[in-house]
């Protein structure tokens, strides 16, 4: 049974059609080794010039919050510092140090790296030492009749030997397995980057949520003061006969309803702070020293936006999907190698004697050695190996489809964020205008009520409108901050601009020299790739 169209890497090539076992053996000796199976190629970036059909424009000014898009400007690794909040910076720094996910990610990288090193060991001969001491008595009936005296029926035998076995990686199957595990390791690295990006963005959004809740509480408390002041005036007008008890009851109901909105807001604030405390890696009972308000958060004036051609190299989830493709591609080569003839070399060398001192004697009579070379080829296995190769090929098709989906999702995330910021700007601008109009209407209505020019229900309506307008403004401001974080997250978070990693260890240099697989060393701060990983 032959195999056609087998591809290799490293400049070597295997025969495109293998015939007899003799030819296979000769080729194995002459070629030394090659790597069968497809060579993984990095997928090309989508050829598209813009994230959206619409041309990006600078965001308008709304309430003093001006933003503009900076096309092809790089995003810093510590993107959260763009909000210029020392409290946010401190919280994120503490989370990156104390959050258990960081330790788990470091451990996951060490596990994956150790698995690579373990597989590299398969490229080397296996040597083992053995000592065996035996003794006993041979039955007189089977011993030599010339044996005299009878005590010669007893014997002892000491044997010490070194056994060496070696399975040459003729077809590169082991190196394909190493490539697979190395890709699994890098997949884990980029999954870690996605996890860290989620952690930092969750903290930033949580800080914005706290600022929003504090603003809502302040607005509600302010409206309660206004409502109570109006209640006092309504009671006074009732005593003067200008209003009825029904009017007083209506205002008392409005005060009570407004006060009832405070406990849910305060509950949400406390729970949000608990969430931020846990994200920072600490217990809720320890409290959160940072306090977040919109006055302490500055909306980034410049929004870095990568070119579409760079996005696939910057999104950690896309890079993880890419490494998953590389891992499954390597398994095809391993499956093909398993279908080809397998070779092994075994040897033993040692000494053996009836006395322990014979093991250290220079007498060649006690010396022995054996050698064995073996070649085997599966002739029929019920198509098991063939189906495993097909399963590996189908796995690559699946991984390729998952990669394409990850790319589509990445571009959608960026487009969604750009549209969100565009419409947030308009929404915040309109909300601020509506709030100003509602405030003016409430102030005029309060004055006219004391002068008897408007009916009391109009005042109630003006209060409700003003409260809703202020809450809408706060929500619009929160959306604009949160969608800015979402844009930074959609662009990949800037991990590729992190400081360069520490120099490679001796073990990592050894891995490169043995396998030719060169990757960035593990970062000391937390696992992830460096600038060199962003292609």
Segment 59-111, tens digit of pLDDT: 555 455 677 888 888 899 999 999 999 999 999 999 999 999 999 999 999 99
Question: Which residue(s) pair with 166 in the sheet?
Answer: 345
Q: What is the pLDDT of residue 15?
A: 38
Decide which of 133 and 217 is more confident. Answer: 217
- Give the pairing of strands 367-376 and 154-166: unpaired
* CA distance linking residue 500 with residue 521, whole number of Å: 10
458-482 tens-digit pLDDT: 877 888 788 889 889 999 999 999 9
Question: Which residue(s) pair with 215 in the sheet?
Answer: none
Q: What is the pLDDT of residue 21?
A: 41
- Evaluate if residue 152 carries a pLDDT over 70: no
Decide which of 355 and 116 is more confident. Answer: 116
SS3 content of the chain, % helix, strand, coil (to 5): 60, 10, 30
361: Cβ–Cβ under 8 A, 6 or more apart, which residues?
351, 353
Question: Which residue(s) pair with 128 in the sheet?
Answer: 163
Q: What is the pLDDT of residue 515?
A: 60
Average of per-residue pLDDT across 191-204: 95
Helix (H, G, I), strand (E, B) or coil at 452: coil
| 3-state SS track over 392-421 | HHHHHHHHHHHHHHHHHHHHHHHHHHHHHH
513: Cβ–Cβ under 8 A, 6 or more apart, which residues?
none
315-331 tens-digit pLDDT: 999 999 999 999 999 99
**Angle 143-144-147 (CA atoms, 0-180°, nearest 5)?**
100
* CA distance linking residue 333 with residue 6, whole number of Å: 9
* CA distance linking residue 89 with residue 94, whole number of Å: 9
* CA distance linking residue 93 with residue 108, whole number of Å: 21
Cβ 194 vs Cβ 202: under 8 Å: no
Instruction: Show the tokens assigned to 262.
Output: 């405070």
Query: At which residue do the structure tokens 């006993």 appear?
Result: 136
Cβ 193 vs Cβ 495: under 8 Å: yes
Instruction: Show the tokens assigned to 203.
Output: 């903290």
* CA distance linking residue 471 with residue 481, whole number of Å: 15
Instruction: Show the tokens assigned to 315.
Output: 């999104």
Cβ 513 vs Cβ 7: under 8 Å: no
Which DSSP symbol is given to 348? E
Confidence of residue 533 (pLDDT cuts 50, 70, 90): very low
- Evaluate if residue 277 carries a pLDDT over 90: yes
Which DSSP symbol is given to 78? T
Cβ 281 vs Cβ 91: under 8 Å: no
364-397 tens-digit pLDDT: 888 888 999 999 999 999 999 999 999 999 999 9
Cβ 2 vs Cβ 19: under 8 Å: yes
Q: Using DSSP, how many helices (H) and how many strands (E) does the chain show?
A: 11, 6
Mean pLDDT is lowest, of 191-195, 210-214, 498-502, for 498-502
* CA distance linking residue 324 with residue 396, whole number of Å: 9
213: Cβ–Cβ under 8 A, 6 or more apart, which residues?
265, 268, 269, 272
Cβ 265 vs Cβ 217: under 8 Å: yes
**DSSP assignment of 171-223, as one string?**
TSHHHHHHHHHHHHHHHHHHHHHHHHHHHHHHHHHHHHHHHHHHHHHHHHHHH
Decide which of 400 and 442 is more confident. Answer: 400
Segment 348-351 long-range contacts (CB within 8 Å, at least 24 positions apart):
348/161, 348/162, 348/163, 348/164, 349/161, 349/162, 349/164, 350/130, 350/159, 350/160, 350/161, 350/162, 351/159, 351/160, 351/161
- Evaluate if residue 532 carries a pLDDT over 60: no
Q: Of how many residues is the chain composed? A: 535
Question: Which residue(s) pair with 136 in the sheet?
Answer: 155
pTM (two decimals): 0.81
- Evaluate if residue 11 carries a pLDDT over 60: no
Question: Which residue(s) pair with 304 in the sheet?
Answer: 70
Average of per-residue pLDDT across 191-209: 95
Question: Which residue(s) pair with 134 in the sheet?
Answer: 157
- Evaluate if residue 10 carries a pLDDT over 70: no
Q: What is the pLDDT of residue 323?
A: 96
Confidence of residue 156 (pLDDT cuts 50, 70, 90): confident
Cβ 171 vs Cβ 14: under 8 Å: yes
Confidence of residue 116 (pLDDT cuts 50, 70, 90): very high
The yes or no reply on domain 21-533 and CATH 1.10.3210.10 is no
391-425 tens-digit pLDDT: 999 999 999 999 999 999 999 999 999 999 988 88
Average of per-residue pLDDT across 166-184: 94
Which phi and psi (to 5°) does residue 282 adopt? -130, 165
Q: What is the pLDDT of residue 133?
A: 85
503: Cβ–Cβ under 8 A, 6 or more apart, which residues?
521
Distances (CA, A) of 441 to 214, 255, 446: 25, 19, 9
């Amino acid at each position: 049974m032959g195999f056609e169209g087998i591809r290799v890497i490293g400049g070597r090539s295997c025969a495109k059609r293998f015939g007899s076992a003799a030819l296979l053996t000769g080729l194995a000796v002459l070629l030394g080794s090659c790597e069968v199976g497809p060579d993984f190629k990095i997928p090309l970036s989508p050829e598209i010039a813009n994230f959206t059909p619409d041309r990006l424009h600078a965001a308008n000014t709304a309430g003093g919050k001006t933003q503009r898009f900076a096309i092809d400007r790089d995003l810093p690794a510590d993107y959260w510092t763009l909000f210029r909040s020392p409290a946010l910076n401190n919280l994120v720094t503490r989370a990156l140090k104390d959050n258990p996910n960081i330790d788990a990610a470091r451990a996951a990288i060490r596990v994956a790296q150790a698995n690579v090193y373990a597989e590299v060991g398969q490229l080397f001969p296996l040597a083992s030492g053995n000592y065996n001491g035996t003794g006993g008595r041979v039955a007189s009936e089977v011993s030599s009749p010339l044996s005299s005296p009878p005590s010669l029926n007893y014997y002892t035998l000491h044997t010490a030997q070194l056994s060496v076995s070696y399975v040459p990686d003729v077809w590169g199957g082991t190196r394909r397995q190493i490539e697979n595990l190395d890709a699994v390791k890098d997949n884990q690295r980029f999954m870690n980057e996605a996890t860290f990006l989620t952690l930092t963005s969750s903290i930033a959004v949580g800080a914005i949520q706290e600022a929003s809740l504090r603003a809502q509480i302040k607005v509600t408390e302010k409206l309660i003061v206004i409502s109570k002041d109006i209640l006092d005036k309504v009671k006074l007008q009732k005593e003067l006969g200008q209003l009825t008890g029904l009017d007083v009851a209506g205002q008392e109901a409005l005060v009570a309803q407004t006060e009832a909105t405070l406990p849910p807001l305060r509950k949400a604030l406390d729970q949000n702070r608990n969430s931020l405390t846990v994200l920072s890696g600490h217990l809720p009972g320890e409290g959160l020293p940072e306090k977040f308000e919109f006055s302490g958060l500055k909306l980034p004036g410049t929004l870095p936006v990568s070119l579409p051609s760079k996005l696939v190299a910057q999104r950690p989830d896309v890079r993880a999907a890419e490494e998953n493709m590389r891992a499954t591609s390597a398994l095809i080569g391993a499956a093909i190698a398993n279908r080809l003839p397998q070779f092994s070399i075994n040897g033993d060398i040692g000494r053996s004697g009836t006395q322990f001192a014979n093991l250290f004697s220079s007498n060649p009579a006690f010396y022995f050695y054996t050698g064995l070379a073996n070649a085997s080829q599966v002739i029929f296995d019920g198509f098991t190996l063939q189906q495993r190769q097909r399963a590996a090929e189908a796995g690559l098709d699946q991984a390729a489809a998952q990669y394409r989906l990850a790319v589509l999702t990445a571009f959608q995330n960026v487009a969604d964020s750009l549209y969100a910021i565009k419409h947030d700007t308009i929404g915040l601008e309109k909300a601020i205008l509506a709030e100003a109009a509602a405030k003016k209407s409430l102030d005029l209505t309060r004055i006219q009520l004391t002068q008897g020019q408007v009916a009391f229900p109009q005042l109630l309506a003006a209060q409700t409108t003003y409260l809703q307008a202020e809450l809408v403004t706060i929500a619009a401001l929160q959306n604009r901050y949160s969608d800015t974080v979402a844009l930074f997250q959609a662009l990949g978070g800037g991990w590729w601009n992190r400081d360069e990693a520490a120099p490679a260890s001796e073990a990592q240099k050894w891995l490169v020299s043995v396998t030719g697989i060169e990757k960035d060393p593990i970062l000391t701060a937390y696992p992830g790739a460096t600038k060199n990983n962003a292609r």
